[in-house]
Chain A
Amino acid sequence: MHIPDGFLDLHICAITYLATIVFWVFAFRRARQVIDEKHIPLMATLTAMFFAAQMMNYPIIGGTTAHILGGPILAITLGPYAGLISMSIILLIQTFLFGDGGITTLGANVWNMGIVGVFIPYMVCLLILKIKSSKTALFIGVFLAALVGDVLAAIFAGLELGLSTLTFPYSVPIAVTAMGLHHFVIGVGEGIVSMAIISILLKVRPDLMEIPKIAPLWMGELRFTTKVG
Protein backbone atom coordinates (compact mmCIF):
# COMPACT_ATOMS: atom_id res chain seq x y z
CA MET A 1 0.00 0.00 0.00
CA HIS A 2 3.06 2.25 0.05
CA ILE A 3 2.52 5.06 -2.45
CA PRO A 4 5.82 6.03 -4.11
CA ASP A 5 6.86 9.50 -5.28
CA GLY A 6 5.38 10.51 -8.60
CA PHE A 7 1.97 8.90 -8.02
CA LEU A 8 0.28 11.80 -6.20
CA ASP A 9 -0.36 15.43 -7.17
CA LEU A 10 1.48 17.99 -5.11
CA HIS A 11 -1.67 19.48 -3.63
CA ILE A 12 -2.83 16.04 -2.47
CA CYS A 13 0.59 15.56 -0.87
CA ALA A 14 0.26 18.93 0.87
CA ILE A 15 -3.26 18.20 2.17
CA THR A 16 -2.33 14.76 3.51
CA TYR A 17 0.83 16.16 5.10
CA LEU A 18 -1.20 18.85 6.87
CA ALA A 19 -3.80 16.37 8.11
CA THR A 20 -1.05 14.05 9.33
CA ILE A 21 0.84 16.86 11.06
CA VAL A 22 -2.30 17.74 13.07
CA PHE A 23 -2.45 14.17 14.36
CA TRP A 24 1.31 14.12 14.98
CA VAL A 25 1.09 17.25 17.13
CA PHE A 26 -1.64 15.73 19.29
CA ALA A 27 0.08 12.35 19.44
CA PHE A 28 3.41 13.78 20.57
CA ARG A 29 1.78 16.15 23.06
CA ARG A 30 -0.08 13.24 24.65
CA ALA A 31 2.97 10.99 24.42
CA ARG A 32 5.08 13.56 26.26
CA GLN A 33 2.54 13.57 29.09
CA VAL A 34 2.14 9.81 29.36
CA ILE A 35 5.44 8.25 28.24
CA ASP A 36 8.25 8.27 30.74
CA GLU A 37 11.80 7.55 29.68
CA LYS A 38 11.28 3.87 30.40
CA HIS A 39 8.71 3.52 27.65
CA ILE A 40 10.94 4.85 24.89
CA PRO A 41 13.24 1.81 24.50
CA LEU A 42 10.21 -0.43 25.04
CA MET A 43 8.20 1.12 22.23
CA ALA A 44 11.32 1.21 20.06
CA THR A 45 11.94 -2.53 20.35
CA LEU A 46 8.27 -3.26 19.66
CA THR A 47 8.44 -1.02 16.59
CA ALA A 48 11.55 -2.85 15.38
CA MET A 49 9.73 -6.14 15.90
CA PHE A 50 6.76 -5.02 13.81
CA PHE A 51 9.17 -3.85 11.13
CA ALA A 52 10.55 -7.39 11.01
CA ALA A 53 7.04 -8.87 11.15
CA GLN A 54 6.05 -6.86 8.07
CA MET A 55 8.60 -8.83 6.09
CA MET A 56 6.97 -12.18 6.80
CA ASN A 57 4.45 -13.14 4.18
CA TYR A 58 1.31 -15.21 4.31
CA PRO A 59 -0.35 -16.77 1.26
CA ILE A 60 -3.61 -15.31 -0.05
CA ILE A 61 -5.91 -16.37 -2.85
CA GLY A 62 -4.38 -16.86 -6.28
CA GLY A 63 -0.92 -17.91 -5.22
CA THR A 64 0.09 -14.40 -4.20
CA THR A 65 1.33 -13.39 -0.79
CA ALA A 66 0.65 -10.47 1.52
CA HIS A 67 2.16 -9.25 4.76
CA ILE A 68 0.57 -7.78 7.85
CA LEU A 69 0.52 -4.01 8.31
CA GLY A 70 0.63 -4.31 12.09
CA GLY A 71 -1.44 -1.18 12.62
CA PRO A 72 -4.42 -2.91 14.25
CA ILE A 73 -2.29 -4.91 16.69
CA LEU A 74 -0.23 -1.84 17.58
CA ALA A 75 -3.41 0.13 18.23
CA ILE A 76 -5.00 -2.56 20.36
CA THR A 77 -1.92 -3.29 22.48
CA LEU A 78 -0.33 0.17 22.81
CA GLY A 79 -3.13 2.60 21.95
CA PRO A 80 -3.71 4.63 18.78
CA TYR A 81 -1.30 7.50 19.50
CA ALA A 82 1.52 5.09 20.27
CA GLY A 83 0.53 3.10 17.17
CA LEU A 84 0.72 6.26 15.06
CA ILE A 85 4.20 7.05 16.35
CA SER A 86 5.36 3.46 15.75
CA MET A 87 3.90 3.31 12.24
CA SER A 88 5.46 6.69 11.39
CA ILE A 89 8.86 5.36 12.41
CA ILE A 90 8.35 2.17 10.40
CA LEU A 91 7.32 4.15 7.30
CA LEU A 92 10.21 6.59 7.74
CA ILE A 93 12.74 3.76 7.93
CA GLN A 94 11.15 2.00 4.95
CA THR A 95 11.43 5.18 2.89
CA PHE A 96 14.99 6.12 3.81
CA LEU A 97 16.47 2.64 4.00
CA PHE A 98 14.70 0.66 1.27
CA GLY A 99 13.23 3.40 -0.89
CA ASP A 100 9.80 1.88 -0.23
CA GLY A 101 7.40 4.83 -0.23
CA GLY A 102 8.43 8.38 -1.02
CA ILE A 103 9.37 11.76 0.40
CA THR A 104 6.44 13.72 -1.01
CA THR A 105 4.02 10.88 -0.29
CA LEU A 106 5.17 10.17 3.28
CA GLY A 107 2.29 12.26 4.62
CA ALA A 108 -0.24 10.28 2.62
CA ASN A 109 1.30 6.95 3.62
CA VAL A 110 1.28 7.87 7.31
CA TRP A 111 -2.30 9.06 6.94
CA ASN A 112 -3.43 5.76 5.37
CA MET A 113 -1.51 3.24 7.43
CA GLY A 114 -0.66 5.17 10.59
CA ILE A 115 -3.89 7.10 11.20
CA VAL A 116 -6.74 5.40 9.32
CA GLY A 117 -5.12 1.98 9.76
CA VAL A 118 -4.61 2.54 13.50
CA PHE A 119 -7.44 4.72 14.83
CA ILE A 120 -10.25 2.93 12.99
CA PRO A 121 -9.28 -0.56 14.27
CA TYR A 122 -9.01 0.85 17.79
CA MET A 123 -12.48 2.35 17.58
CA VAL A 124 -13.97 -0.82 16.06
CA CYS A 125 -12.49 -2.95 18.82
CA LEU A 126 -13.66 -0.47 21.46
CA LEU A 127 -17.17 -0.54 20.05
CA ILE A 128 -17.39 -4.34 19.97
CA LEU A 129 -16.11 -4.65 23.52
CA LYS A 130 -18.63 -2.06 24.65
CA ILE A 131 -21.46 -4.16 23.23
CA LYS A 132 -20.26 -7.29 24.94
CA SER A 133 -17.21 -7.88 27.08
CA SER A 134 -16.10 -11.47 26.70
CA LYS A 135 -13.21 -13.37 25.21
CA THR A 136 -15.17 -14.26 22.06
CA ALA A 137 -16.17 -10.64 21.64
CA LEU A 138 -12.53 -9.66 21.95
CA PHE A 139 -11.52 -12.05 19.16
CA ILE A 140 -14.38 -10.93 16.91
CA GLY A 141 -13.41 -7.34 17.68
CA VAL A 142 -9.78 -7.92 16.77
CA PHE A 143 -10.70 -9.67 13.52
CA LEU A 144 -13.19 -7.00 12.45
CA ALA A 145 -10.84 -4.22 13.54
CA ALA A 146 -8.03 -5.56 11.39
CA LEU A 147 -10.31 -6.17 8.40
CA VAL A 148 -12.09 -2.79 8.52
CA GLY A 149 -8.83 -0.96 9.21
CA ASP A 150 -7.04 -2.51 6.24
CA VAL A 151 -9.90 -1.94 3.82
CA LEU A 152 -10.48 1.67 4.90
CA ALA A 153 -6.76 2.44 4.68
CA ALA A 154 -6.74 1.01 1.16
CA ILE A 155 -9.83 3.01 0.21
CA PHE A 156 -8.13 6.20 1.39
CA ALA A 157 -5.06 5.29 -0.67
CA GLY A 158 -7.34 4.75 -3.67
CA LEU A 159 -9.05 8.10 -3.07
CA GLU A 160 -5.74 9.94 -2.91
CA LEU A 161 -4.56 8.25 -6.11
CA GLY A 162 -7.84 8.85 -7.92
CA LEU A 163 -8.03 12.51 -6.90
CA SER A 164 -4.53 13.10 -8.27
CA THR A 165 -5.88 13.95 -11.69
CA LEU A 166 -2.65 15.57 -12.92
CA THR A 167 -0.34 12.66 -12.24
CA PHE A 168 -2.26 9.43 -11.66
CA PRO A 169 -3.93 8.21 -14.85
CA TYR A 170 -7.00 6.47 -13.39
CA SER A 171 -10.13 7.96 -11.84
CA VAL A 172 -11.48 7.63 -8.27
CA PRO A 173 -13.93 4.71 -8.87
CA ILE A 174 -11.30 2.55 -10.56
CA ALA A 175 -8.58 3.28 -8.01
CA VAL A 176 -10.88 2.82 -4.99
CA THR A 177 -12.40 -0.46 -6.21
CA ALA A 178 -9.04 -1.90 -7.16
CA MET A 179 -7.43 -0.99 -3.84
CA GLY A 180 -10.49 -1.87 -1.75
CA LEU A 181 -11.09 -5.31 -3.26
CA HIS A 182 -7.45 -6.27 -3.15
CA HIS A 183 -7.11 -5.21 0.47
CA PHE A 184 -10.31 -6.94 1.51
CA VAL A 185 -8.52 -10.25 0.86
CA ILE A 186 -5.37 -9.00 2.59
CA GLY A 187 -7.51 -7.73 5.49
CA VAL A 188 -9.00 -11.18 6.11
CA GLY A 189 -5.46 -12.50 6.41
CA GLU A 190 -4.48 -9.66 8.71
CA GLY A 191 -7.54 -10.44 10.84
CA ILE A 192 -6.63 -14.11 11.24
CA VAL A 193 -2.98 -13.36 12.01
CA SER A 194 -4.02 -10.65 14.50
CA MET A 195 -6.35 -13.05 16.29
CA ALA A 196 -3.52 -15.59 16.59
CA ILE A 197 -1.23 -12.91 18.02
CA ILE A 198 -3.81 -11.82 20.61
CA SER A 199 -4.52 -15.42 21.58
CA ILE A 200 -0.85 -16.14 22.22
CA LEU A 201 -0.50 -12.92 24.21
CA LEU A 202 -3.49 -13.85 26.36
CA LYS A 203 -2.10 -17.32 26.90
CA VAL A 204 1.52 -16.46 27.71
CA ARG A 205 1.63 -12.92 29.04
CA PRO A 206 -1.88 -11.64 29.71
CA ASP A 207 -0.37 -8.71 31.60
CA LEU A 208 0.97 -7.34 28.29
CA MET A 209 -2.60 -6.71 27.18
CA GLU A 210 -2.93 -4.27 30.04
CA ILE A 211 -0.07 -1.92 29.14
CA PRO A 212 -1.49 1.60 29.56
CA LYS A 213 -2.84 2.69 26.18
CA ILE A 214 -1.83 6.04 24.75
CA ALA A 215 -5.16 7.19 23.38
CA PRO A 216 -6.99 10.48 22.91
CA LEU A 217 -8.94 11.28 26.06
CA TRP A 218 -12.28 11.57 24.28
CA MET A 219 -11.98 8.07 22.89
CA GLY A 220 -11.85 6.31 26.17
CA GLU A 221 -9.57 3.43 26.93
CA LEU A 222 -9.73 -0.16 25.81
CA ARG A 223 -9.79 -2.34 28.85
CA PHE A 224 -8.96 -5.99 28.83
CA THR A 225 -9.09 -7.31 32.30
CA THR A 226 -7.81 -10.78 32.92
CA LYS A 227 -11.38 -11.44 33.95
CA VAL A 228 -12.33 -11.50 30.24
CA GLY A 229 -13.33 -15.07 29.49
Chain B
Amino acid sequence: MIKELLKAFEDMVYSERYPSLDGSLQRIDPTVKLFMTTIFIITIVSMMKITPLILLMGVVLLLAISSKLPLKSFLFRVTFFIPLFAGIITLPLPFITPGRALASFTIAGLSLNLTYEGIYRMILFTFRVWLSVAFLTLLISTTKFNDILHALSRFKLPQIFIMMASITYRFIFNFINEGYRMILARESRITRKQRRMEVMKTLGNIIGTLFIRAYERGERVYFAMLARGYSGELRSVNGLKVHVRDWAFAIITISICSVVIMLNYIDLVIW
Protein backbone atom coordinates (compact mmCIF):
# COMPACT_ATOMS: atom_id res chain seq x y z
CA MET B 1 0.00 0.00 0.00
CA ILE B 2 2.73 2.43 0.98
CA LYS B 3 4.96 1.61 -1.94
CA GLU B 4 2.25 2.45 -4.45
CA LEU B 5 1.49 5.76 -2.78
CA LEU B 6 5.15 6.70 -2.84
CA LYS B 7 5.45 5.74 -6.48
CA ALA B 8 2.44 7.82 -7.45
CA PHE B 9 3.88 10.72 -5.55
CA GLU B 10 7.22 10.37 -7.27
CA ASP B 11 5.50 10.28 -10.67
CA MET B 12 3.77 13.55 -9.92
CA VAL B 13 6.96 15.27 -8.89
CA TYR B 14 8.70 14.05 -12.03
CA SER B 15 5.83 15.00 -14.29
CA GLU B 16 6.27 18.64 -13.29
CA ARG B 17 10.00 18.61 -14.07
CA TYR B 18 9.99 18.49 -17.86
CA PRO B 19 7.57 21.38 -18.55
CA SER B 20 10.25 23.83 -17.40
CA LEU B 21 12.82 22.55 -19.92
CA ASP B 22 13.44 24.79 -22.90
CA GLY B 23 12.17 22.63 -25.76
CA SER B 24 10.06 23.33 -28.80
CA LEU B 25 6.69 22.17 -27.45
CA GLN B 26 7.21 23.93 -24.13
CA ARG B 27 7.16 27.24 -25.99
CA ILE B 28 3.81 26.59 -27.68
CA ASP B 29 0.74 28.19 -26.12
CA PRO B 30 -1.09 25.64 -23.93
CA THR B 31 -4.49 26.33 -25.52
CA VAL B 32 -3.10 25.63 -28.97
CA LYS B 33 -1.25 22.57 -27.66
CA LEU B 34 -4.36 21.15 -26.00
CA PHE B 35 -6.45 21.72 -29.10
CA MET B 36 -3.87 20.22 -31.46
CA THR B 37 -3.32 17.17 -29.23
CA THR B 38 -7.07 16.58 -29.35
CA ILE B 39 -7.02 16.79 -33.16
CA PHE B 40 -4.11 14.32 -33.31
CA ILE B 41 -5.88 11.85 -31.02
CA ILE B 42 -9.18 12.09 -32.93
CA THR B 43 -7.24 11.41 -36.14
CA ILE B 44 -5.53 8.39 -34.58
CA VAL B 45 -8.77 6.91 -33.26
CA SER B 46 -10.41 7.15 -36.69
CA MET B 47 -7.56 5.30 -38.48
CA MET B 48 -8.32 1.88 -39.95
CA LYS B 49 -4.91 1.20 -41.49
CA ILE B 50 -1.44 0.79 -40.04
CA THR B 51 0.63 2.80 -42.57
CA PRO B 52 -0.74 6.27 -41.63
CA LEU B 53 -0.15 5.41 -37.98
CA ILE B 54 3.55 4.83 -38.70
CA LEU B 55 3.72 8.36 -40.10
CA LEU B 56 2.16 9.71 -36.90
CA MET B 57 4.63 7.68 -34.83
CA GLY B 58 7.42 9.55 -36.63
CA VAL B 59 5.72 12.83 -35.71
CA VAL B 60 5.42 11.95 -32.03
CA LEU B 61 9.06 10.85 -31.78
CA LEU B 62 10.23 14.00 -33.57
CA LEU B 63 8.20 16.19 -31.23
CA ALA B 64 9.50 14.34 -28.17
CA ILE B 65 13.13 14.79 -29.28
CA SER B 66 12.71 18.46 -30.14
CA SER B 67 11.07 19.04 -26.76
CA LYS B 68 14.23 17.65 -25.10
CA LEU B 69 12.38 14.81 -23.37
CA PRO B 70 14.70 11.92 -22.51
CA LEU B 71 13.61 9.45 -25.19
CA LYS B 72 14.25 6.31 -23.18
CA SER B 73 12.09 7.24 -20.22
CA PHE B 74 9.45 8.76 -22.53
CA LEU B 75 9.14 5.48 -24.44
CA PHE B 76 9.08 3.53 -21.19
CA ARG B 77 6.31 5.69 -19.77
CA VAL B 78 4.30 5.48 -23.00
CA THR B 79 4.67 1.74 -23.61
CA PHE B 80 4.07 0.26 -20.20
CA PHE B 81 0.72 0.13 -18.38
CA ILE B 82 -2.05 1.10 -20.81
CA PRO B 83 -0.70 -0.10 -24.22
CA LEU B 84 0.75 -3.20 -22.58
CA PHE B 85 -2.68 -3.91 -21.10
CA ALA B 86 -4.25 -3.32 -24.53
CA GLY B 87 -1.79 -5.79 -26.04
CA ILE B 88 -2.61 -8.43 -23.45
CA ILE B 89 -6.38 -8.21 -23.82
CA THR B 90 -6.08 -8.57 -27.60
CA LEU B 91 -3.96 -11.74 -27.37
CA PRO B 92 -6.89 -14.09 -28.23
CA LEU B 93 -7.75 -12.02 -31.33
CA PRO B 94 -5.45 -13.76 -33.86
CA PHE B 95 -7.25 -17.01 -33.05
CA ILE B 96 -10.88 -15.94 -32.92
CA THR B 97 -10.99 -13.69 -35.99
CA PRO B 98 -12.14 -15.51 -39.12
CA GLY B 99 -9.95 -15.07 -42.20
CA ARG B 100 -6.98 -16.43 -44.10
CA ALA B 101 -5.25 -19.02 -41.94
CA LEU B 102 -1.51 -18.67 -41.54
CA ALA B 103 -1.05 -21.63 -39.26
CA SER B 104 -3.26 -24.01 -37.36
CA PHE B 105 -2.70 -25.86 -34.13
CA THR B 106 -4.61 -28.53 -32.30
CA ILE B 107 -4.42 -28.18 -28.54
CA ALA B 108 -6.40 -30.61 -26.39
CA GLY B 109 -8.77 -31.46 -29.21
CA LEU B 110 -9.43 -27.80 -30.02
CA SER B 111 -8.26 -26.66 -33.41
CA LEU B 112 -6.99 -23.09 -33.49
CA ASN B 113 -6.38 -21.04 -36.60
CA LEU B 114 -3.89 -18.23 -36.52
CA THR B 115 -5.33 -15.79 -39.05
CA TYR B 116 -3.78 -12.90 -40.94
CA GLU B 117 -6.82 -10.70 -40.23
CA GLY B 118 -6.60 -11.45 -36.52
CA ILE B 119 -2.96 -10.44 -36.25
CA TYR B 120 -3.69 -7.31 -38.25
CA ARG B 121 -6.55 -6.32 -35.92
CA MET B 122 -4.40 -6.96 -32.86
CA ILE B 123 -1.55 -4.80 -34.12
CA LEU B 124 -3.90 -2.04 -35.28
CA PHE B 125 -5.71 -1.81 -31.93
CA THR B 126 -2.57 -1.87 -29.80
CA PHE B 127 -0.75 0.57 -32.07
CA ARG B 128 -3.67 3.00 -31.99
CA VAL B 129 -3.80 2.91 -28.19
CA TRP B 130 -0.02 3.32 -28.00
CA LEU B 131 -0.05 6.40 -30.25
CA SER B 132 -2.96 8.02 -28.37
CA VAL B 133 -1.16 7.51 -25.08
CA ALA B 134 2.05 8.85 -26.64
CA PHE B 135 0.39 12.10 -27.75
CA LEU B 136 -1.34 12.58 -24.40
CA THR B 137 1.95 11.92 -22.57
CA LEU B 138 3.68 14.41 -24.86
CA LEU B 139 1.11 17.04 -23.91
CA ILE B 140 1.27 16.43 -20.17
CA SER B 141 5.04 16.19 -20.02
CA THR B 142 5.50 19.53 -21.74
CA THR B 143 2.70 21.47 -20.03
CA LYS B 144 2.18 22.41 -16.40
CA PHE B 145 -1.21 21.45 -15.02
CA ASN B 146 -2.01 25.07 -14.15
CA ASP B 147 -1.41 26.07 -17.77
CA ILE B 148 -3.83 23.36 -18.93
CA LEU B 149 -6.43 24.73 -16.53
CA HIS B 150 -5.82 28.19 -17.88
CA ALA B 151 -6.23 26.87 -21.40
CA LEU B 152 -9.50 25.20 -20.39
CA SER B 153 -10.82 28.42 -18.92
CA ARG B 154 -10.54 29.94 -22.40
CA PHE B 155 -13.03 27.36 -23.63
CA LYS B 156 -15.70 29.10 -21.54
CA LEU B 157 -15.88 26.53 -18.77
CA PRO B 158 -17.72 27.66 -15.62
CA GLN B 159 -15.54 29.70 -13.28
CA ILE B 160 -16.56 27.60 -10.28
CA PHE B 161 -15.09 24.56 -11.99
CA ILE B 162 -11.76 26.15 -12.91
CA MET B 163 -11.38 27.68 -9.48
CA MET B 164 -12.20 24.47 -7.64
CA ALA B 165 -9.88 22.47 -9.87
CA SER B 166 -6.96 24.81 -9.25
CA ILE B 167 -7.46 24.74 -5.47
CA THR B 168 -7.88 20.95 -5.56
CA TYR B 169 -4.63 20.58 -7.47
CA ARG B 170 -2.77 22.58 -4.84
CA PHE B 171 -4.00 20.40 -1.99
CA ILE B 172 -3.57 16.95 -3.55
CA PHE B 173 0.08 16.71 -2.47
CA ASN B 174 -0.89 17.75 0.99
CA PHE B 175 -3.48 15.00 1.41
CA ILE B 176 -1.29 12.34 -0.16
CA ASN B 177 1.35 13.21 2.39
CA GLU B 178 -1.18 13.16 5.21
CA GLY B 179 -2.62 9.83 4.11
CA TYR B 180 0.88 8.42 3.75
CA ARG B 181 1.77 9.45 7.29
CA MET B 182 -1.40 7.88 8.67
CA ILE B 183 -0.77 4.58 6.87
CA LEU B 184 2.84 4.57 8.01
CA ALA B 185 1.79 5.19 11.62
CA ARG B 186 -0.74 2.38 11.36
CA GLU B 187 1.74 -0.07 9.88
CA SER B 188 4.32 0.65 12.54
CA ARG B 189 1.80 -0.29 15.23
CA ILE B 190 0.58 -3.64 13.90
CA THR B 191 2.51 -6.78 14.63
CA ARG B 192 0.73 -9.39 12.55
CA LYS B 193 -0.68 -9.74 9.08
CA GLN B 194 -4.16 -8.29 8.95
CA ARG B 195 -7.18 -10.00 7.51
CA ARG B 196 -8.79 -8.60 4.39
CA MET B 197 -11.79 -7.29 6.32
CA GLU B 198 -9.59 -5.52 8.86
CA VAL B 199 -7.59 -3.79 6.16
CA MET B 200 -10.78 -2.47 4.57
CA LYS B 201 -12.16 -1.22 7.89
CA THR B 202 -8.86 0.48 8.69
CA LEU B 203 -8.84 2.10 5.29
CA GLY B 204 -12.38 3.33 5.89
CA ASN B 205 -11.31 4.81 9.22
CA ILE B 206 -8.30 6.52 7.64
CA ILE B 207 -10.40 7.99 4.83
CA GLY B 208 -13.11 9.06 7.27
CA THR B 209 -10.55 10.86 9.40
CA LEU B 210 -9.05 12.43 6.29
CA PHE B 211 -12.54 13.56 5.30
CA ILE B 212 -13.00 15.40 8.59
CA ARG B 213 -9.54 16.93 8.33
CA ALA B 214 -10.23 17.98 4.73
CA TYR B 215 -13.46 19.64 5.82
CA GLU B 216 -11.79 21.53 8.63
CA ARG B 217 -8.92 22.52 6.36
CA GLY B 218 -11.40 23.77 3.78
CA GLU B 219 -12.84 26.15 6.36
CA ARG B 220 -9.37 27.43 7.27
CA VAL B 221 -8.43 27.82 3.61
CA TYR B 222 -11.54 29.89 3.07
CA PHE B 223 -10.71 32.25 5.92
CA ALA B 224 -7.11 32.51 4.72
CA MET B 225 -8.32 33.36 1.22
CA LEU B 226 -10.83 35.84 2.59
CA ALA B 227 -8.04 37.57 4.51
CA ARG B 228 -6.13 37.98 1.24
CA GLY B 229 -8.96 39.65 -0.62
CA TYR B 230 -10.90 36.70 -2.05
CA SER B 231 -14.29 37.63 -3.44
CA GLY B 232 -15.30 34.49 -5.30
CA GLU B 233 -13.53 35.46 -8.50
CA LEU B 234 -10.55 33.92 -10.23
CA ARG B 235 -7.67 36.15 -11.18
CA SER B 236 -4.61 35.02 -13.05
CA VAL B 237 -1.32 36.86 -13.31
CA ASN B 238 0.35 35.10 -16.21
CA GLY B 239 -1.29 36.36 -19.36
CA LEU B 240 -0.89 33.92 -22.22
CA LYS B 241 -0.52 35.23 -25.74
CA VAL B 242 -0.79 33.38 -29.04
CA HIS B 243 2.34 33.95 -31.13
CA VAL B 244 3.23 33.30 -34.77
CA ARG B 245 4.90 30.00 -33.83
CA ASP B 246 1.64 28.83 -32.28
CA TRP B 247 -0.18 29.49 -35.55
CA ALA B 248 2.59 27.72 -37.44
CA PHE B 249 2.31 24.72 -35.13
CA ALA B 250 -1.47 24.64 -35.60
CA ILE B 251 -1.20 24.79 -39.40
CA ILE B 252 1.45 22.05 -39.52
CA THR B 253 -0.65 19.82 -37.24
CA ILE B 254 -3.77 20.24 -39.33
CA SER B 255 -1.90 19.54 -42.58
CA ILE B 256 -0.28 16.40 -41.15
CA CYS B 257 -3.65 15.16 -39.94
CA SER B 258 -5.31 15.81 -43.30
CA VAL B 259 -2.55 13.92 -45.13
CA VAL B 260 -2.89 11.04 -42.69
CA ILE B 261 -6.67 10.93 -43.09
CA MET B 262 -6.26 10.93 -46.88
CA LEU B 263 -3.77 8.07 -46.64
CA ASN B 264 -6.37 6.13 -44.69
CA TYR B 265 -8.93 6.39 -47.46
CA ILE B 266 -6.97 6.02 -50.72
CA ASP B 267 -6.72 2.49 -52.07
CA LEU B 268 -3.01 2.74 -52.86
CA VAL B 269 -2.19 2.00 -49.25
CA ILE B 270 -3.34 -1.53 -48.61
CA TRP B 271 -2.01 -1.86 -45.09
Contact = CB atoms under 8 A, between A and B. Distances in A.
Interface residues of B, number: 83
B42 A10 contact: yes
A219 interface: no
Contacts of B8: 55, 98
A131 interface: no
A6 B77 CA distance: 17
Interface stretch (A121-129, A149-157, A186-194, A221-229): A186-194
B211 interface: yes
A31 B140 CA distance: 30
B80 to A, nearest CB: 11
B210 A98 contact: no
Contacts of B206: 56
A145 B201 CA distance: 17
Interface stretch (B54-62, B212-220, B242-250): B212-220
B205 interface: yes
A98 B145 CA distance: 10
A6 B129 contact: yes
A15 interface: no
Contacts of A85: 160-161, 164
A44 B167 contact: yes
A95 B169 CA distance: 13
Contacts of A43: 164, 218
B209 A200 contact: yes
Contact of A49 (B131, B145, B183, B211): B211
A36 B231 CA distance: 10
Contact of B131 (A6, A53, A167): A6
B113 interface: no
B145 A96 contact: yes
A28 interface: yes
Given A4-B129, A6-B86, A104-B38, A53 B207 contact: yes
A49 B175 contact: yes
A198 B205 CA distance: 9
A48 interface: yes
Most chain B beta-carbon contacts within 10 A, residue among A45, A90, A95, A200? A45
Contact of B200 (A41, A45, A52, A192): A192
Contacts of A167: 45, 125, 128
Interface residues of A, number: 71
A40 B164 contact: yes
B259 interface: no
A193 B205 CA distance: 8
A31 B163 CA distance: 13
A19 interface: no
Contacts of B139: 96
Contacts of A208: 211-212, 215
B200 A196 contact: yes
Given A56-B179, A196-B203, A45 B172 contact: no
B160 A166 contact: no
A15 to B, nearest CB: 14
Most chain A beta-carbon contacts within 10 A, residue among B86, B139, B175, B211? B211
B217 A55 contact: no
Interface string A69-98: 000010001000000010011101101111
B271 interface: no
Given A4-B133, A48-B174, A167-B128, A196 B204 contact: yes
Nearest to A88: B161
Given A40-B164, A104-B38, A197 B208 contact: yes
8 contacts: A6-B125, A6-B130, A46-B218, A55-B4, A56-B5, A169-B122, A200-B208, A201-B211
Interface of A: 4-10, 13, 28, 31-32, 35-38, 40-49, 51-53, 55-60, 65, 68, 73, 77, 85, 88-90, 92-93, 95-99, 102-104, 166-170, 189, 192-201, 204-205, 208
Interface of B: 1, 4-5, 8, 11-12, 15, 37-38, 41-42, 44-46, 48, 77, 82, 86, 89-90, 93, 121-122, 125, 128-133, 135-137, 139-140, 143, 145, 148, 158, 160-161, 163-165, 167-172, 174-176, 178-179, 183, 196-197, 199-201, 203-215, 217-219, 221-222, 225, 230-232
